[in-house]
Amino acid sequence: MVTVEGRAVVLALNSGSSSLKYGLYAVDPEPVLLVGGTIETLDDDSDDHARFLDTIETALKGWPTPTVIGHRIVHGGPHRHAHCRIDDAVMADMEAACAFAPLHGPASLALIRAAGARYPGVPQVACFDTAFHAGMPDVAKTLPIPRAYQAAGVRRYGFHGLSCESIVRQLGGDMPARLVIAHLGNGASVTAVRDGRSIDTSMGLTPSGGVMMATRTGDIDPGVLLYLLRETELDAKALATLVDHAAGMTGISGLSGDMRVLRAAATEDADLAIRMFERSVCKQVAAMIASLGGADMLVLTGGIGENDRLTGRAVRDGLAWMSGLEIRILPSQEDAQIALHAGVLA
């Protein structure tokens, strides 16, 4: 058993769009996983986060009580550009940022409150997925709408930042000057990294843009959305549900957004959904290569990127024109990144 004496003991909570991952880490200075697991939440309509913590606490039985709790927060909003300890002001900013990430924000806030009630007095740290992209140049972060809207925080933020951080950390001295990271899972994004820093990324104001995803449209002609508002009975709420929950591979296949289910189904619509996803990934990777002025390495990560060999093969084939591009598969270690930051900020 790993000894924890003298180390920060971090409970890392990674609340995503389809699951809640947790891990108890001893950190000094590198994170060492003591115990962890995943709670599937995609089909769970409950907002009882105390129940999720019951499951986690059972798994942690016999291990030391956390000295700090770290949370993955998808959207930091316009006022939070770096990971930080959570206080009332941070909570208020995260509440406001829910307007940008309604799929993720409210659940994360509920989890923070539940964890505070379960572990009173234990400091909590917010680790923002947007932080990795905070230094993007203006040509990447500015959206092509009237500049007046920027004052309200309407710009490109970028997401999956903790995943990107973990790839940069794993590569270490092997990290090339021009790197593209494709995080492919239920949510998917592609990021251009120059000398370890994000310079462009496929997701924008919200986690709905960029690559076509399991249930999200990804990039789409805005005229389609205007048409649906104007010519159908969809209102803003219904349109939001379509964009985030009923589109992507789910909408095309009429079956599921889970790549494993689509592979097994082998129907014409499932095949089309897969091919559209693969094409979308290749197009976004090519866009990031253009932003970098060429690329030395592409890393595939995330649930699909790490585990679906056929997607990996399709991406390799789709980028065969890019000579000299090294393609690697590395695990997304978001939880370890959360533990690292929380250990420092506790």
pLDDT digits (tens, 9 = 90+) for 112-159: 999 999 999 999 999 999 999 999 999 999 999 999 999 999 999 999
Determine what percent of the chain is predicted with pLDDT higher than 90. 88
264: Cα separation from own chain's centroid: 26
Is 129 labeled as catalytic in the residue annotation? yes
Q: Mean pLDDT lowest for which of 106-115, 169-178, 277-286?
A: 106-115
Q: What class has domain 173-329?
A: alpha beta
- What mean pLDDT do residues 199-223 have? 97
Please give the CATH superfamily to which domain 8-154+334-345 belongs: ATPase, nucleotide binding domain (3.30.420.40)
316-335 pLDDT, tens digit per residue, is 999 999 999 999 999 999 99
Indicate if the pLDDT at residue 273 is higher than 70: yes
Catalytic residue (one of 129, 258, 308, 335): 129
Q: What percent of the chain has pLDDT over 70?
A: 96
The pLDDT value recorded for residue 44 is: 52
pLDDT (0 to 100) of residue 271: 98
Identify which of 171, 159, 89 has the alpha carbon closest to the alpha carbon of residue 127: 159
* pTM over cut 0.85: yes
Calculate helix-pair angle for 88-97, 105-118, nearest 10 degrees.
150
The reported pLDDT for the residue numbered 23 is: 97
Mean pLDDT over 28-56 rounds to 82
Enumerate the domain spans of the chain: 8-154+334-345, 173-329
Does the pLDDT at position 1 exceed 50? no
> Of the candidates 194, 148, 214, 210, which has an alpha carbon nearest to the alpha carbon of residue 293?
194
Residue 246: which of 237, 235, 257, 236 has the closest Cα?
257
